[in-house]
Chain A
Amino acid sequence: MAKRIDVSDLNVYYGAFKAVEGVSMTVEPRSVTAFIGPSGCGKSTFLRTLNRMHEVIPGGRVEGKVMLDDQDLYAPSMDPVMVRRTIGMVFQRPNPFPTMSIYDNVAAGLRLNGVRNKKTLDGIVEQSLKGANLWNEVKDRLSKPGAGLSGGQQQRLCIARAIAVQPQVLLMDEPCSALDPISTLAIEDLINELKSDYTIVIVTHNMQQAARVSDRTAFFNLKATGEPGRLIEIDETTKIFNNPNEQSTEDYISGRFG
């Protein structure tokens, strides 16, 4: 079910601006990889290139190669819509569809792609909500608007929505930055459970969070404003946080911790 991502020598541009330069890394299947680094270092930008979401922004394009197992995500024959169906994404701010009920939100990805069978949908909705640890809280009000849930519940709803289309990989762009500590904890628990089924990549500003949830951590940095962001190093999380290879990684981590 989960797949490995291999990135080699990736540059990301927005128009003429080079946002990220020369990233090569491997994201291991059935594990959590965290991206950390200062604001503007390109970690979110890079994350979006993993399911071609950067193409939604005018002028966004990449050079280099991203492989999902043996599939080239940027092959000319590859349709970005198919890529995104396989590699799901959870965003910084919970964004349930405001016109839809809880049920409809989870079923949205399937329905919008043409699945009509009520039984199939019921099954997947229940399974996804259970998978997102939300089922018990909402099972009695599935027809209520999704926007009526609390922030943390909304984010778990968005995760349920993302896993309902049964992706191989789940990308999370600072999924807890808009949430309170208790909701954050719930999401972190959920990430721990999800990694047995999915390859998970999470961007976070919170280093304790990276230390808590991830198996491997990648540190991004940029030399100066206006310069492209780069991958400084990627390694086992314990190694990055205790004994990183690069001085700048250590500075960043200790600066935050100290």
Chain B
Amino acid sequence: MSALKTDQRVPEDENMTGDSPTSPPPSNRSGNEALREMSNPHRGRAIKDLIARIAMWVSFFVAMVPLAWILWTVVSKGIHLLLSATWWTGNQRNINSSDVGGGARHAIEGTLMMAGVTALIAVPIGILTAVYLVEYGRGGLARAISFMVDILSGVPSIVAALFIYAVWVTTFGLDRSGFAAALALVLLMIPVIVRSTEEMLKLVPNELREAAYALGVPKWVTIVKIVLRTAFSGIVTGVLLGLARIMGETAPLLILAPYTKNFQHDLFNGNFPTLPMMINQDRGDFALASAAARMWGTALTLILLVLLLNIIGRVIAHFGSVKK
């Protein structure tokens, strides 16, 4: 009777606890025998363990190959453009795919501006929705909101863009513009903010709310001054990660915000420059060295921008987290 065989002892789906009901009682055989079997695991078990270990290491390195390859390609092919001052000061006016030169400042500014406007709309709605879900909501409305946030987080960016197109252009007859694209990005950013803020608010101990209530502090003051204040760094991190996510979104720009090679700070009229659209601009001519270099340079700029936001977010999360 070899009761200690892996498969019988620990069925795959059993959530292991100290006294798993499926483990056979050891009483009907000598303790010595059991000990011997344990200290010398069944060979199959040891081999399985070894295979798993090797598989994990191999998976890791196999998975890292394309990812490292991508980063390396972008950096090595894009860096030289970024080292020239013009890249950070100029735009692409009158520069064709086959031309070298020009800068990306117009697109950097455009991307930042659009992200800023998006955040201005999405952040208050997102945070207040999270506040409702954690601090006020119960019952049907809260469940409905939570469900809708889930749905919204699954809406593909192209569908969000089509929706804004259907409202903005088809229904109201307005022109495509940077602001229309920002509205589509708002739809994509809200669920990110709601979910991350919700997580952070749930982490705030209930005791702090009670302490404030017991001091005769009204609920809304408690939420604003105690709960949101305590969760502040986490919320900021969530906002920055959400921003990083929407800055690289291209589909809404493709549908709603045609690219321009010039400086443009008007979100409501005319074409609008952004980094993803600057990459897209040269797509058809990627065989030209000048166009490919510009695409890599722009991609690297975009990655650096996203990376910068990520790092700031993590630094805030690290140093701003409440020490116990």
Contact = CB atoms under 8 A, between A and B. Distances in A.
Nearest to A111: B225
B100 interface: no
Contact of A109 (B215, B322, B323): B215
B173 interface: no
Nearest to A85: B216
Interface residues of A, number: 29
Given A93-B207, A97-B211, A99-B230, A147 B216 contact: no
Interface string B96-110: 000000000000000
A197 B300 CA distance: 68
Contacts of A145: 323
A109 B230 contact: no
Question: For the complex, would chain B's binding face be called helix, strand, loop or mixed by DSSP majority?
Answer: helix
B36 interface: no
Contacts of B322: 98-99, 147
B209 to A, nearest CB: 7
A160 to B, nearest CB: 12
Interface in A73-120: 81-86, 88-89, 91, 93, 95-99, 108-109, 112-113
B215 A99 contact: no
A53 B323 contact: no
The size class of the interface chain B forms with chain A is 20 to 34
A247 B76 CA distance: 86
27 contacts: A51-B214, A53-B214, A56-B209, A58-B138, A81-B217, A81-B218, A82-B216, A83-B216, A84-B213, A84-B214, A85-B215, A86-B216, A88-B215, A95-B207, A95-B211, A96-B211, A97-B212, A97-B226, A97-B230, A98-B324, A99-B230, A108-B215, A112-B215, A113-B215, A147-B324, A161-B211, A162-B215
What are the 6 A-B residue pairs with the smallest beta carbon separation, nearest first? Answer: A85-B216, A109-B215, A89-B214, A95-B207, A98-B322, A84-B216
Interface of A: 51, 53, 56, 58, 81-86, 88-89, 91, 93, 95-99, 108-109, 112-113, 145, 147, 158, 161-162, 165
